[in-house]
């Protein structure tokens, strides 16, 4: 069941990516607007998951206006600025056709903890750690050089399979190793999105509100079942694709809702919803509503008549 659900999700993501690519190059205004929104949401949510107290609005004020928020710690401010800078570095790595190295991983981590923890920023831990709330025990520090070399080769050098799956597994393997004293979660999410960006997919923003679902899926992964975690990451990618759909005017103008489609074509809204969820027809969600094209439904009818 989870495999079918996951495969349907990956089908929808592939179709969404294909649809967006039809309208590239996007206008500079759209690209700038999307990037600003994604950097803000990615930074806010990734930090909030780890306990940062800045709100989304406060994070925006820090990043976009350089303001200091009263009664909020310097650490909270630095985490926002550092994460933004780490995203810029990840983007640079993604858009250059070079292999990702262990050095790059350490550089990302160093940016995450810049001026926060000078002792351990960019350095593998030399102590044993435990993951709060998890039954998983990370490997001993002496094993880290070998494990991280293997990780970089397996998850960052030679990526096989669907990029969303590989990005999720890169995240999962990284946090399982837990190579740093602090900042592992934020670094894992940055590496996950580095894999996605290098493969032409948008970043996955794990929402603070999905924190429990996210951690529960990670814990299942430690018990040998990673499909749930891949699904959580996939849903985050799909959400980002939907942000693209909402701001590309050509896409919005060519799609109709399932309610409208059910009045034109010989299918009920419930049946069309099933087709959309399974990825059987090109569709995307605008707010809470699935949107489809008449051309896609005509092609489906022709294929199945």
Using one digit for the tens of pLDDT, what is the confidence trace for 192-219?
999 999 999 999 999 999 999 999 999 9
Note the pLDDT of residue 3. 57
pLDDT tens track for 95-122 = 987 889 999 999 999 999 999 999 999 9
Residue 287 clears pLDDT 80, i.e. is over it: no
CATH number of the domain where residue 132 is located: 1.10.3290.10
Q: 73 lies in a domain?
A: yes
Q: Chain-centre distance of CA 65, in angstroms?
A: 25
| SS3 labels along 3-42 | HHHHHHHHHHHHHHHHHHHHCCCCCHHHHHHHHHHHHHHH
Separation in Å, CA 21 to CA 15, 252, 279, 301: 10, 15, 18, 25
Three-point CA angle 244, 195, 216, nearest 5°: 85
Dihedral of alpha carbons 288, 205, 149, 50, sign:
negative
Residue pair 65/54 in contact by the 8 Å Cβ criterion: no
Are the C-beta atoms of 9 and 238 separated by less than 8 Å? yes
pLDDT at 169 over 60: yes
- Contact of 261 with 292, CB cutoff 8 Å: yes
Mean per-residue pLDDT, 27-55: 97
Range of the domain at 175: 27-249
Q: Identify the pLDDT of residue 278.
A: 82
Question: Which band of pLDDT confidence, cut at 50, 70 and 90, is reported for residue 158?
Answer: low
Q: In the prediction, which pLDDT does 54 show?
A: 99
- pLDDT number for residue 2: 53
Phi, psi angle pair for 45, to nearest 5°: -65, -40
Identified catalytic residue from 136, 178, 222, 304: 178
pLDDT at 55: 99
Whether 208 is covered by a domain: the verdict is: yes
Of the chain, the percentage scoring pLDDT greater than 90 comes to 73
Estimate to the nearest angstrom the gap between the alpha carbon of 243 and the chain centroid: 13
Please check whether residue 213 lies inside any domain of the structure: yes
* Domain total in the chain: 1
Measured between alpha carbons, how far is 88 from 83 in angstroms, rounded to an integer?
Answer: 9
Q: If pLDDT is split at 50, 70 and 90, which confidence band does 1 have?
A: very low
Query: 136 in a domain, yes or no?
Result: yes
Q: Which tops the pLDDT comparison, 151 or 278?
A: 151
Residue 4, CA distances (Å) to 15, 239, 279, 291 in order: 16, 19, 11, 22
Q: Which of 43, 120, 53, 29 is nearest to 82 (CA)?
A: 43
pLDDT in tens, 179-192: 999 999 999 999 99
> Does pTM surpass 0.85?
yes
Identify whether the C-beta of residue 45 lies closer than 8 Å to the C-beta of residue 206.
yes
Mean pLDDT, all residues of the chain:
93
234 domain-assigned:
yes
Any domain includes 262 = no
Q: What percent of the chain has pLDDT over 70?
A: 98
Distance between CA atoms of 23 and 17, rounded to whole angstroms?
10
178 classed as catalytic = yes
Question: How many Cβ atoms from other residues are within 10 Å of residue 133's Cβ?
Answer: 9
Nearest CA-CA partner of 55 in 64, 70, 39, 44: 44
Q: What is the DSSP letter of 135?
A: S
Contacts (Cβ under 8 Å, ≥6 apart) of 52: 76, 79, 80
282 falls within a domain = no
pLDDT at 283: 81
Provide, for the chain, the percentages of residues in helix, strand and coil under a 3-state DSSP scheme, each rounded to the nearest 5.
Answer: 65, 5, 30
Say whether pLDDT at 145 is over 60.
yes
How many Å apart are CA 23 and CA 237, to the nearest integer? 19
pLDDT at 286 over 80: no
pLDDT band at 79 (very low <50, low <70, confident <90, very high): very high
- Residue 4 placed within a domain: no
Tell me the β-bridge partners of 257.
291
Residue 304: count of CB within 10 angstroms of its CB? 7
State the pLDDT confidence band at 246, using cuts at 50, 70 and 90.
confident
């Amino acid at each position: 069941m989870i495999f079918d659900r996951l495969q349907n999700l990956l089908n929808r993501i592939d179709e969404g990516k294909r649809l967006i690519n039809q309208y590239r190059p996007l206008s500079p205004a759209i690209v700038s607007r999307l990037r600003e929104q994604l950097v803000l949401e990615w930074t806010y949510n990734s930090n909030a998951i780890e306990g940062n107290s800045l709100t989304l609005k406060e994070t925006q004020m820090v990043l976009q206006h350089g303001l200091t928020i009263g009664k909020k710690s310097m650490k909270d401010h630095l985490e926002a600025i550092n994460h933004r800078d780490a995203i810029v570095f990840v983007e640079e790595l993604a858009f250059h056709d070079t292999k990702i190295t262990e050095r790059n991983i350490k550089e990302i981590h160093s940016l995450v903890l810049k001026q926060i923890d000078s002792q351990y920023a960019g350095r593998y831990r030399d102590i044993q750690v435990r993951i709060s709330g998890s039954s998983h025990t990370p490997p001993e520090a002496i094993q880290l050089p070998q494990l991280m070399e293997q990780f970089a080769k397996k998850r960052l050098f030679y990526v096989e399979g669907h990029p969303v799956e590989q990005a999720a597994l890169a995240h999962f393997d990284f946090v399982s190793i837990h190579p740093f004293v602090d900042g592992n979660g934020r670094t894992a999410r940055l590496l996950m999105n580095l894999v996605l960006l290098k493969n032409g997919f948008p970043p996955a923003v794990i929402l603070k509100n999905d924190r429990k679902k996210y951690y529960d899926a990670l814990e299942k992964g430690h018990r040998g079942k990673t499909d749930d975690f891949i699904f959580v990451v996939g849903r985050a990618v799909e959400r980002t694709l939907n942000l693209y759909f909402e701001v590309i005017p050509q896409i919005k103008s060519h799609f109709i809702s399932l309610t409208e489609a059910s009045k034109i074509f010989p299918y009920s809204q419930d049946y069309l919803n099933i087709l959309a969820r399974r990825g059987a027809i090109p569709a995307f969600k605008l707010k809470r509503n699935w949107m489809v094209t008449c051309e896609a439904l005509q092609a489906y009818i022709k294929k199945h008549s």
